[in-house]
Chain A
Amino acid sequence: MIEILVSFFLLVGAAFALIGSWGLVHLPDFYLRLHGPTKATTLGVGGMIIGSVIYFSSHGETLSLHELLVTLFLFITAPVSAHMLAKAALHLQLRSEERTRNRNDV
């Protein structure tokens, strides 16, 4: 039962990370590409870490929660690095897609 749960979380996490990376390759401009890694990849790693917490907690004698620190840290830092990257992109005046609304008054 626990094996199924761990497998589920690991696979869902990997799938999200893969989708985030796919977005990084496939989306047309930088501002769009920013969305993939900041959300999908972060949640992907979060999912895998939950899987690992369940695995080690069920195999050791005690609850093993320290992996959650990695998730916590990623969830705090991901928006910060996304914000800084977006700022750098605006500063360098990177091209955004033609159809982006309000693209001229940023």
Chain B
Amino acid sequence: MLSLAIEAAFAMMTLALLLNLWRVVRGPDLPDRILALDTMYINSIALIVLYGVQQKSEFYFEAALLIAVMGFVGTVAVVKYLLRGDIVE
């Protein structure tokens, strides 16, 4: 039951990531691409959490947390570059 649910969730998340990738490629503007990348990192956190449940291992949690932190910083840095043309003022 649980392994089936995990498989199904894996499939859904993969599809979600593909949809995001389509938006990254398609654009049409930079904010769209950044938004899509932002969504991709959130979705990959979900994927890692799923993998952790499947492997019955809690160690993947740290990776998920790191991606959450780094992804947010990355998004903010790129958006700041768009807004000001500079990251560190």
Contacts and interface: CB of A to CB of B under 8 A. Distances in A.
Interface of A: 3-4, 6-7, 10-11, 13-15, 17-18, 20-22, 24-25, 30, 33-34, 36-37, 41-42, 44-45, 48-49, 51-52, 55-56, 59-60, 64, 66-67, 69-70, 73-74, 77-78, 80-81, 84-85, 87-89, 91-92, 94
Given A7-B1, A42-B42, A92 B56 contact: no
Contacts, number: 157
B86 to A, nearest CB: 14
Contacts of B9: 10-11, 13-14, 48
Lowest 3 CB-CB distances: which A-B pairs, in order? A7-B5, A21-B16, A14-B9
**B-side binding surface: helix, strand, loop or mixed?**
helix
Contacts of A36: 39
Contacts of A78: 42
B75 A56 contact: no
A24 B82 contact: no
B87 interface: no
Name the residue among A4, A10, A55 with the largest chain B CB count within 10 angstroms: A10
Interface in B4-55: 4-6, 8-9, 12-13, 15-17, 19-20, 22-23, 29-32, 34-36, 38-39, 42-43, 45-46, 49-50, 52-53
